[in-house]
Amino acid sequence: MEQKPRWNWVITLAAAFLAFCLGFGVARWTQHTDGVTVRTARTIPAQTESALPSVPAASAPTEKSTAAPTEAATQPPTEPGPLDLNRATAQELTTLPGIGDYTAAAIASINFGEPVAAVDGNLLRVAARVSGCADDIMDARVRKQFTAHLNDAIDLARPGAYNQAMMDLGATVCLPNGAPKCEICPARMMCEAYKNGLTEVLPVRAKKKARKIEERTVLLLFQNGKAALRKRADTGLLASLWEFPSVLGNLDEAGVSLVLAQMGLSAQTVEPAGSAKHIFTHIEWDMKGYFADVTGENDDLFWADAAAFDAAAIPTAFKKFAALVRARLQ
């Protein structure tokens, strides 16, 4: 008799654990709100009037005092102290470099018990399938709505276990890019996608627009021991930053000399400076560079010596070329 794979019982135990952790969470998605379907079988207990913070009654307006300010009133505001990482909230953690909403929520819920949902792709996939939501989960409005509903649905007593269970459910059972393991999913009987045969259709992710590829020729110009920089426009891509002069197209040496002549410059020497690529969100620059010693003047160019070059804000898109120019200016 063929022996069953050992991981079957592991998945069974995991499913049981998930069912236990998700009992209060996933089972609450039934109500359709603003285009996002959300189940809310359990509601957060309403606060009583006595539990609400008291708000002082508004007083009648009085005449502005002309008395001199007290010493305390003239003191400068106290600078905020360092963030206590052992007590920080999710919102406070997002002020740290490299910590986004998901990481902050995961840390705060798992380590500190803060009831905030750690919403990543796994949670969005589970939420979209369970709710039957056909909206694009990559849309910022939809993600914001899901985050609000997941925060409302989170297990207040064990938010860390809830988040970890939801993450594991999405990562090991409610799989992306293929058939999810609905037969072992603890949420299948309440899952709209499962009941309606939509598990391979949901979640909806709008196709990304094809990235535009743009060929550029970058001109590394030198004159009297200085290198040419040009200020970019105040709006648009890389606004107000310094760049090397560049033109659209993949030019050869003769083409570079012609462009320089159109700029009012005369090329004394032109030689290849290699190539580089930089990818922005919606556009890709395929760049080929040329060194050129030139004479002449152009009002759009700033001629920088080594010190001025190092002080200029040059985008990382030109990182490779900037290193080559810096070496020549030394």
Q: What predicted TM-score, i.e. pTM, was given to this entire model?
A: 0.47
Q: How many CA atoms lie less than 13 Å away from 187 in the CB half-sphere?
A: 32
The per-residue pLDDT for 19 is 43
Give CA–CA dist 106/117, Å, rounded.
Answer: 7
The rounded mean pLDDT for the chain is 81
Last residue of a domain, one of 170, 195, 220: 195
Query: Where is 301: in which H helix or E strand?
Result: strand 301-304
In a domain, 268, yes or no: yes
Has residue 125 been placed in a domain? yes
Q: Is residue 155 included in any domain, yes or no?
A: yes
pLDDT in tens, 132-159: 999 999 899 999 999 999 999 999 999 9
Let me know whether 174 and 30 are in one domain. Answer: yes
- 51, pLDDT greater than 90: no
Q: Are residues 106 and 162 in the same domain?
A: yes
Encode pLDDT of 312-323 as tens digits. Answer: 989 999 999 999
Assigned domain for 56 exists: no
pLDDT range class, residue 81, cuts 50, 70, 90: low
**Average pLDDT of the residues in 179-204:** 93
- Beta pairing class for 212-223 and 283-296: parallel
Query: In this structure, what CATH number is given to the domain that contains residue 321?
Result: 3.90.79.10
Same-domain pairing of 166 and 221: no
User: Lowest mean pLDDT: which of 29-43, 93-107, 277-291?
Assistant: 29-43
* Distance, CA of 36 to CA of 127 (rounded, Å): 10
Look up the CATH number of the domain holding residue 137. 1.10.1670.10
Instruction: Name the domain boundary from 195, 227, 262.
Output: 195
CA distance 80 to 254: 60
How do beta strands 242-243 and 265-279 pair?
unpaired
- Please tell me which residue, 101 or 2, carries the higher pLDDT value: 101
For residues 173 and 38, membership in a common domain is answered with: yes
Token representation of residue 283: 């556009």
pLDDT reported for residue 76: 53
Domain boundary among 195, 228, 250: 195
Half-sphere exposure of 206 (CA within 13 A, CB side): 10
- Say whether both 191 and 225 belong to one domain: no
Let me know: does 243 contact 300? Beta carbons within 8 Å: no
pLDDT of residue 3: 40
Same domain, 38 and 175: yes
Average pLDDT of the segment spanning 292-300: 96
Residue 52 counted as domain residue: no
32 and 178 share one domain: yes
How many domains in the chain?
2
77 lies in a domain? no
pLDDT value for 83: 84
The answer to whether 69 touches 62, Cβ cutoff 8 Å, is no
251: containing domain: 212-329
Q: Residues 272, 153: one domain?
A: no
Question: Average of pLDDT values for 20-27?
Answer: 46
